[in-house]
DNA sequence: AAAAAAC
């Protein structure tokens, strides 16, 4: 197990973002001014956070300095974690505040500071999130959940159920923007594992009027699995609020009731996939008249041309027609330039935005490697002799492939060799998919082969190893890497700042080129494992990654 | 000719 590193994150600083304005359209995301007032930066960071689907983790926590402690806090978990309990903080030093202060003066953008501070505290190169706010609404980043005026029931859910202690960086920055009237739209990018889910889940829960027994918050996700996972987080966090919620995903294909039609939805919060939501709306089984918040998780994909753009826009327009002021929240770890431009045009003019430069998007806690494999047979041998043998004690592993066929073939090859692995892809029945995911989440299976079905958002903290059996490439131009998918895949390891390793299998000259392009794009230098045939080389790599 | 979603 690796260590549990606990991330921490935190943003502590409070920065206020002044407004900078901007029209989004024109300035892409260049933030404009923002100053930061850093008020206090005080504490070291500790984040706690959330569960999310993705984001960057921070690392370590240090806690010694903790100023306040709430009595209600139960255990401390750090960055996002929900589940895990291992934890051990590492100490980061509370670094001298002066240093921090010094840095602070320098900055320009808001959230940047938060990161700088954090940098000193824990994670060495942390990411900077650039914020661009519109209008003159001032926002102060939240150093504690109390700063957010959440209901006591919701706070209890955060501390008792989620075991969060304080907001992670993205939470500290985005929550005030989400919860402060006037409720502006938000486009938010944050690292894998940093706690984005908590941001929009809290946003949905806190904006629901408990007295109105009709749907008031809707969250659209790219897969059935992610919808279910997000609903579970919401139900846990909102346990004491009494707010009702429901999943709107395709019904069990169970033989028995296909005929029985789905009943109308009255839950106050609805989370689901685009097709089902669209259908429910057209059948008038999902009323959007009281909708206050519309969330798109993995928003870049949901609004991409080759993603769910049509369904997403349709849903968005149907809601806005009845409710022009419905707040739209877009979250993802990735937003390529094209999508970024597109989404900033479809949200309201006075929206706020948070972005992270692509060069700062890779998680430092997750070490990336490439392994030259002469042919397909070698790839299987590497999986068998290196990964399955060595990896057993390292936590769980996800092996990504590009096609369902590839998934099936690899699965068969490994099973024939006597290994226990499970495989998931969209051609399986919903029941089988649910079962495979549950077994993996329960830790009953160690190695999971998957298509990009699980590339995004899947949150299983025990995953320390990710294998790109096939490198992700663009469908239209297979010689080009699919940068976003790559980032999402590797983000399945290193949740919340934990350590992890990624092995990219490079079989052809084309693959080598793809890895080069990936390095260039993200500003990384993925190291090569000298020989696929050397157990020692893999051990060194894993040791370097902190897994051995 | 893919991944997923779903009619």
- Reduced to 3 states (helix: H, G, I; strand: E, B; else coil), residue A220 is strand
Is the predicted pLDDT of residue A104 greater than 50, yes or no?
A: no
pLDDT computed for residue A538 by the predictor: 96
Cβ A224 to strand B below 7 Å? yes
Is the predicted pLDDT of residue A218 greater than 90, yes or no?
A: yes
Place of tokens 């990624």: A502
Buried b / exposed e over A382-405, threshold 16 CB at 10 Å, is: bbeebbbebbeebbbbbbbbbebe
The tokens of A96 are what? 């001298």
The pLDDT of A278-298, averaged and rounded, is: 96
Is the predicted pLDDT of residue A3 greater than 50, yes or no?
A: no
pLDDT computed for residue A260 by the predictor: 65
Buried b / exposed e over A503-527, threshold 16 CB at 10 Å, is: bbbbbeeebeebbeebeeebeeebe
Is the predicted pLDDT of residue A97 greater than 80, yes or no?
A: no
- Beta bridge pairs of residue A397: A447, A465
Cβ A425 to strand B below 7 Å? yes
Q: The whole model's pTM is what?
A: 0.81
Note the CA–C1' distance, A276 to B6, in angstroms.
7
C-alpha to C-alpha distance for A184 and A204, rounded to whole angstroms: 14
Note the CA–C1' distance, A279 to B7, in angstroms.
9
C-alpha to C-alpha distance for A245 and A216, rounded to whole angstroms: 10
Average per-residue pLDDT for chain A: 81
The tokens of A150 are what? 């959440």
Q: Which of A's residues 19-58 have CB atoms within 7 A of nucleic strand B?
A: none
The tokens of A207 are what? 């904006």
- Which strand B bases fall within 7 angstroms of a protein CB? 2-7
The pLDDT of A517-528, averaged and rounded, is: 97
Cβ A470 to strand B below 7 Å? no
Q: Which of A83, A89, A2 is nearest to A45 (CA)?
A: A89
pLDDT computed for residue A251 by the predictor: 85
Cβ within 8 Å of residue A446, ≥6 positions away: A391, A392, A396, A397, A420
| Cα torsion A444, A450, A453, A456: sign | positive
What is chain A's alpha carbon radius of gyration, rounded to the nearest angstrom?
A: 22
C-alpha to C-alpha distance for A114 and A522, rounded to whole angstroms: 22
pLDDT computed for residue A135 by the predictor: 87
Buried b / exposed e over A412-442, threshold 16 CB at 10 Å, is: ebbeeeebebbbbbeebeeeebbebbeebbe
For residue range A22-69, list pLDDT tens digits in order: 333 333 333 332 322 222 222 333 333 333 333 334 434 333 333 333
For residue range A440-498, list pLDDT tens digits in order: 999 999 999 999 999 999 999 999 999 999 999 999 999 999 999 999 999 999 999 99
Per-residue pLDDT band at A282 (split at 50, 70, 90): very high
**Residue closest to B6 C1′ by Cα:** A275
In chain A, % of residues over pLDDT 70? 75
Is the predicted pLDDT of residue A95 greater than 80, yes or no?
A: no
Higher pLDDT, A287 or A77: A287
Per-residue pLDDT band at A253 (split at 50, 70, 90): low
Is the predicted pLDDT of residue A122 greater than 80, yes or no?
A: no
Strands (E), A181-244: 186-189, 217-220
- Phi, psi of A449, rounded to the nearest 5 degrees: -95, 135
C-alpha to C-alpha distance for A278 and A280, rounded to whole angstroms: 5
Cβ A403 to strand B below 7 Å? yes
Is the predicted pLDDT of residue A246 greater than 60, yes or no?
A: yes
The CB-side HSE value for A448 (13 A sphere, CA atoms) comes to 32
Tallying the residues shown for chain A, one arrives at 548
pLDDT computed for residue A128 by the predictor: 80
Secondary structure letter of residue A222 according to DSSP:
S
Q: Which of A272, A294, A291 is nearest to A222 (CA)?
A: A272
Cβ A488 to strand B below 7 Å? no
Q: In which element (H, E) is residue A296 found?
A: strand A293-297
- Reduced to 3 states (helix: H, G, I; strand: E, B; else coil), residue A132 is strand
pLDDT computed for residue A423 by the predictor: 97
In chain A, % of residues over pLDDT 90? 72
Cβ A332 to strand B below 7 Å? no
Count of beta carbons in the 10 Å neighbourhood of residue A91: 13
The pLDDT of A509-523, averaged and rounded, is: 96
Note the CA–C1' distance, A543 to B3, in angstroms.
33
The tokens of A75 are what? 């255990």
pLDDT computed for residue A473 by the predictor: 96
Cβ within 8 Å of residue A329, ≥6 positions away: A178, A185, A186, A188, A199, A200, A203, A293, A294, A295, A296
Nucleotide nearest to A308 (CA to C1'): B5
Is the predicted pLDDT of residue A528 greater than 50, yes or no?
A: yes
C-alpha to C-alpha distance for A366 and A161, rounded to whole angstroms: 28
Least confident of A119-123, A331-335, A483-487, A539-543: A119-123
C-alpha A436: how far from chain center: 21
**Residue closest to B5 C1′ by Cα:** A275
For residue range A309-336, list pLDDT tens digits in order: 999 999 999 999 999 999 999 999 999 9
CA-CA distances (angstroms) from residue A381 to A231, A374, A396, A417? 39, 11, 19, 10
**Residue closest to B3 C1′ by Cα:** A452
- Phi, psi of A478, rounded to the nearest 5 degrees: -60, -10
């Amino acid at each position: 197990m690796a260590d549990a590193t606990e991330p921490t994150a935190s943003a502590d600083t409070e920065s206020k973002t002044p407004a900078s304005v901007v029209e989004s359209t024109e300035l892409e995301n260049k933030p404009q001014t923002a100053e930061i007032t850093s008020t206090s930066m005080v504490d070291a960071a500790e984040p706690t956070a959330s569960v999310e689907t993705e984001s960057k983790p921070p690392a370590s926590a240090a806690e010694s300095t903790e100023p306040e402690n709430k009595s209600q806090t139960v255990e401390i978990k750090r960055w996002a974690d929900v589940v895990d309990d291992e934890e051990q903080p590492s100490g980061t030093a509370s670094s001298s505040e002066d240093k921090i202060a010094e840095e602070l003066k320098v900055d320009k953008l808001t959230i940047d500071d938060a990161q700088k501070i954090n940098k000193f505290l824990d994670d060495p190169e942390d990411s900077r999130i650039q914020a661009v706010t519109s209008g003159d609404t001032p926002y102060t980043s939240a150093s504690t959940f109390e700063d957010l005026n959440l209901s006591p029931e919701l706070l209890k859910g955060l501390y008792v159920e989620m075991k969060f202690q304080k907001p992670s960086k993205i939470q500290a920055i985005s929550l005030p923007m989400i919860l402060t009237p006037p409720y502006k739209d938000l486009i938010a990018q944050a690292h894998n594992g940093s706690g984005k889910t908590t941001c929009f889940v809290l946003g949905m829960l806190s904006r629901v009027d408990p007295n109105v027994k009709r749907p008031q918050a809707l969250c659209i996700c790219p897969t059935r699995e992610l919808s279910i996972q997000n609903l579970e987080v919401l139900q846990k966090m909102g346990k004491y609020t009494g707010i009702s919620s429901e999943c709107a995903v395709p019904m069990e294909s169970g033989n028995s009731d296909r005929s029985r039609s789905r009943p109308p939805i009255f839950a106050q919060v609805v989370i689901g996939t685009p097709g089902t939501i669209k259908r429910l709306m057209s059948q008038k089984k999902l009323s959007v008249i009281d909708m206050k918040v519309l969330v798109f998780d993995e928003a870049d994909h949901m609004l991409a041309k080759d993603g769910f753009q049509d369904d997403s826009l349709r849903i968005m327009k149907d809601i806005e027609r009845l409710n022009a002021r419905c707040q739209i929240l877009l979250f993802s770890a990735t937003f390529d330039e094209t999508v970024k431009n597109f989404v900033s045009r479809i949200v309201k003019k006075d929206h706020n935005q948070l972005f992270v430069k692509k060069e700062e998007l890779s998680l430092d806690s997750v070490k990336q490697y490439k392994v030259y494999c002469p042919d397909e047979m070698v790839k299987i041998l590497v999986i068998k002799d290196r990964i399955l043998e060595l990896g057993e004690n390292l936590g769980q592993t996800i092996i990504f492939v590009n096609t369902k066929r590839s998934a099936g073939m690899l699965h068969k090859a490994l099973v024939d060799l006597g290994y226990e692995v499970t495989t998931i892809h969209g051609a399986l029945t919903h029941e089988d998919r649910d079962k495979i995911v549950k077994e993996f989440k329960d830790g009953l299976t160690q190695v999971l082969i998957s298509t990009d079905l699980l590339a995004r958002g899947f949150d299983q903290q025990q995953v320390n190893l990710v294998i790109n059996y096939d490198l992700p490439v663009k469908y239209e131009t297979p010689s080009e890497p699919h940068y976003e998918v790559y980032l999402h895949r590797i983000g399945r390891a290193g949740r919340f700042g934990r350590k992890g390793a990624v092995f990219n299998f490079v079989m052809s000259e084309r693959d080598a080129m793809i890895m080069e392009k990936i390095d260039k794009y993200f500003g990384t230098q993925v190291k090569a494992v000298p020989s696929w045939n050397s157990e020692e080389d893999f051990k060194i790599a894993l040791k370097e990654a902190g897994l051995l």
